[in-house]
A and B are shown apart, each in its own frame.
Chain A
Amino acid sequence: MKTIENSKINSDQELKDLFQLIEKEDSQYHSFLSLHKNYARFDENRQGKLANVPIAIKDNICVENTIVTAGSKVLEDFTSPYDATIIEKLQNAGAIIVGKTNLDEFAMGSSTENSAFGPTNNPLDTSLVPGGSSGGSAVTVSANFVPVAIGTDTGGSVRHPASMCGVIGFKPTYGEISRYGVIAMGSSLDQIGIFGNRVGDIETVFNVIRGSDPKDSTSQIEKSKKSAKMHNSEKISLGIPYHFIQKGLSVEVKEKFEMVVEKLREKYEIVDISLPHIDYSLAVYYIIMPVEVASNMARYDGVRYGKNKNSLGDEVKRRIILGTYTSSAGYADKYYHRAQAVRKLILEDFKKVYSQVDYIMMPTSPVLPWKIGEKINDPMSMYLMDIFTVPVNLAGLPAISIPTKRDPLSVGIQFIANQFNDDSLLKDSKEFLEIIKNI
C-alpha cells in the first residue's frame, strides 16, 4: 500500500520507473488521461511536506502549459494558460504532478463512463465501474500508482469512487480549498477533495492546499469559521438517520453497514437521528446543480475554447437542457426557487442535529460497484447512486468515506461533520479506519 512516506521519489531513474510502471499497468484500468513525462522532474533539493511525492490530479484542474480536457471533446486540445491555486500550493510543497486522471465529462456522472475518452475500470474487479466522477483519481490510489490523488466533489464525486475502489476519500467544508483553476460545474456545491490510503496522508495534503485565496471569494471564510462549534460530550457520538438510509440500500451494503455499526457501538455512542427534510435532497440537488451547470457551460460558445456545446456528450447536454428548463420563466418558481428554499431547510436540519451528536454516519453509496454499461442509459437510476452524498454538498459540510476490508465487497462508510470541523473529523477518522478496515 502506497503512503506519502514510502512513495517519495529519490532519483531521476525512480521517476522514470514509476512512469514505466503506470504505462504498463494502467492499460487495464485507464485511470490516466495524460502523463506529464515531459514536465515532471525529480529534484533532490526540493523542500516541503510533499517533497518529491508523486500526486495525480483530476483532469478538470488546470496545470499551466499542459492539456486539461475535463474528459470532453470540447477541450481535447486545450492548454491551461495558468496554474490552479492548489497546483501552485502542491508544487511549492515539493509535490511531483505525474499526470491527469480520467473523469465523467465535466465531472458529470457517477461512474466515469461519461468520459469522452472511454471508461475507467475498477482495480478491485475490472468488469466493474470505479464510481465517479473522480473515478480516475480513485483508481490511481487504489491501483497503487500514487499515495494520494486530487479530485473534485460536487455531489459525491470524491467519496463515491473512493467507496467503490476501497480507498479513503475526503471532501472538506465548502470554501476550505480554493476553486480557482478548477473547471466549474455547480459553483455553490463544487469542492476539491483528496484520495489516499492513510488518513494522515490526506491530512498532510489538506493542510498544504487549504486556505483563503483572493482569487476565489467563496474561500474567504475566516470570519464564519469562528461560529463553528463542536458538540462536547465525553464519548464521541455518531448519529444515524435510519429513516433515510433504509430505502434503496442493497442487501450487501446493509449487512456490511450493520456489522460496522455494531463494532463502532463498542466504543462510541450510536444515536438514531432525524433529518426531516433530507429525503428531498436528491430532488433539490438535481434541480440546483443543472441550473448552475447550464450557467457555467454557457462559456463554451465556440469562441474562446475551441469547439462549442454541440460536441458535448449526452449527460452534459441533458443537464444543460434540464437546468435551462427548471430556471426558465414560468418554471423557476416551481423548481429552482423552491429547491433553494428546501436547501436551506436541509441545512437547518443538519445544524440542529449537530447539537446532539458529533458526527453523522451513513453508507457512502447505496449499492456495490455495478457492471460497466449496466446503468448508462438510465439517467434516473444513475442519479439515485448519489442519494447519500448530495445532502452533504447541499449543506457545505465536510465528510469522509472510509473503506471496509479491501475486496470487491468493500463498502465505504461516510462520516459527516458540522461545518468547519474538518480537523476533528480527520483526527477521529484515524480511529474509525482502524476499527472498520478489517470488517
Chain B
Amino acid sequence: MKNVIDIDTIEKIGKLSGIEIVEGEKEKYLKHFAEILDYFSALDDIDEKTVSSGNHMVTNLKDITRVDKDEESLTNDQVFLNHKKCLNKHFKVERILYNEDN
C-alpha cells in the first residue's frame, strides 16, 4: 500500500464532513481508503497542466443566474412540511457555537 492514511486524518475528515466515526469503524475506513487511494495513484503519471480547464463539460455553459424577479416558490406550509422541531414558523436548530471549554 503506497497511500497510508492515519487515524488522525480520518478523525479530522470526519469532523470536516459532519460525520461521527465510532471507534470500531476507524480501522475499517483506514483499510478501505488505503485500497481506494492506491487505485487513484494511476493518475499520478498524467501531467494535467497540459489540459485547459473551463466551461461545463457537456453543456458548455458558464454559471447561469436567473433574472432577479419574484417567482412562485414553496409556501410556508410546504417548507415546514417535514420539519419536526419548529416554533412559530422558525426552524429550531442545534447549537453550533460553543466556548472552548464546553
Near B by CB (< 8 A), chain A positions 136-188 give 173-175, 188
A309 and B18 contact, Cβ closer than 8 Å, known pairs A81-B78, A328-B13: yes
Contact B57 A344 (CB under 8 A): yes
Complex: A294 Cα to B17 Cα, angstroms: 7
Contact A81 B81 (CB under 8 A): yes
Contact B39 A321 (CB under 8 A): no
B60 partner residues in chain A, CB cutoff 8 A: 223-224
- SS class, residues of chain A in contact with chain B: helix
Contact A304 B83 (CB under 8 A): yes
Q: Is B102 part of the binding interface, using a Cβ–Cβ cutoff of 8 Å? A: no
Complex: A338 Cα to B44 Cα, angstroms: 9
Q: Residue B64 contacts which of A220, A282, A305, A328 (CB distance < 8 angstroms)?
A: A220
Complex: A304 Cα to B80 Cα, angstroms: 8
With both chains docked as a complex, state the minimum distance between the C-beta of A284 and any C-beta of chain B, in angstroms. Answer: 7
Interface contacts (Cβ under 8 Å), in number, total 139
Q: Is B87 part of the binding interface, using a Cβ–Cβ cutoff of 8 Å? A: no
Contact B29 A318 (CB under 8 A): yes
Complex: A82 Cα to B16 Cα, angstroms: 32
Complex: A306 Cα to B84 Cα, angstroms: 7
A321 partner residues in chain B, CB cutoff 8 A: 10, 13-14, 17, 19, 21, 29, 33
A419 and B58 contact, Cβ closer than 8 Å, known pairs A79-B82, A344-B51: yes
A380 (CB) vs chain B CBs: closest residue = B35
Q: Is B61 part of the binding interface, using a Cβ–Cβ cutoff of 8 Å? A: yes
Contact B40 A335 (CB under 8 A): yes
A77 (CB) vs chain B CBs: closest residue = B82
A395 and B61 contact, Cβ closer than 8 Å, known pairs A82-B78, A328-B16, A341-B51: no
Contact A283 B57 (CB under 8 A): no
A322 and B36 contact, Cβ closer than 8 Å, known pairs A221-B59, A280-B43, A341-B46: yes
With both chains docked as a complex, state the minimum distance between the C-beta of A251 and any C-beta of chain B, in angstroms. Answer: 24
Contact B58 A325 (CB under 8 A): no
Contact B43 A339 (CB under 8 A): yes
A423 partner residues in chain B, CB cutoff 8 A: none
With both chains docked as a complex, state the minimum distance between the C-beta of A313 and any C-beta of chain B, in angstroms. Answer: 12
Contact A286 B82 (CB under 8 A): no
With both chains docked as a complex, state the minimum distance between the C-beta of B88 and any C-beta of chain A, in angstroms. Answer: 16
A344 (CB) vs chain B CBs: closest residue = B51
Complex: A188 Cα to B52 Cα, angstroms: 18
B57 partner residues in chain A, CB cutoff 8 A: 174, 188, 343-344, 347, 394-396
With both chains docked as a complex, state the minimum distance between the C-beta of B87 and any C-beta of chain A, in angstroms. Answer: 13
With both chains docked as a complex, state the minimum distance between the C-beta of A84 and any C-beta of chain B, in angstroms. Answer: 14
Q: Is B8 part of the binding interface, using a Cβ–Cβ cutoff of 8 Å? A: no
Near A by CB (< 8 A), chain B positions 62-93 give 64, 66, 74, 78-79, 81-84, 91, 93
Q: Residue A303 contacts which of B5, B21, B35, B93 (CB distance < 8 angstroms)?
A: B93
Contact A175 B29 (CB under 8 A): no
Q: Residue B74 contacts which of A82, A279, A309 (CB distance < 8 angstroms)?
A: A82
Q: Is A310 part of the binding interface, using a Cβ–Cβ cutoff of 8 Å? A: yes
Contact A175 B18 (CB under 8 A): no
B35 (CB) vs chain A CBs: closest residue = A380
A283-B40, A309-B19, A328-B16 given. 18 additional CB < 8 A pairs? A79-B82, A81-B81, A174-B57, A218-B56, A218-B61, A220-B59, A221-B58, A221-B61, A302-B93, A304-B82, A306-B82, A309-B17, A309-B18, A312-B19, A325-B9, A341-B48, A341-B53, A342-B46
10 of the cross-chain contacts (CB-CB < 8 Å) are: A81-B74, A81-B82, A280-B42, A287-B40, A287-B43, A309-B17, A309-B18, A310-B19, A318-B29, A318-B32
Q: Identify the A interface with B (CB < 8 A).
A: 77-79, 81-82, 173-175, 188, 214, 217-218, 220-221, 223-224, 279-280, 282-284, 286-287, 294, 298, 301-306, 308-310, 312, 317-318, 320-326, 328, 335, 337-345, 347, 379-380, 383, 394-396, 419
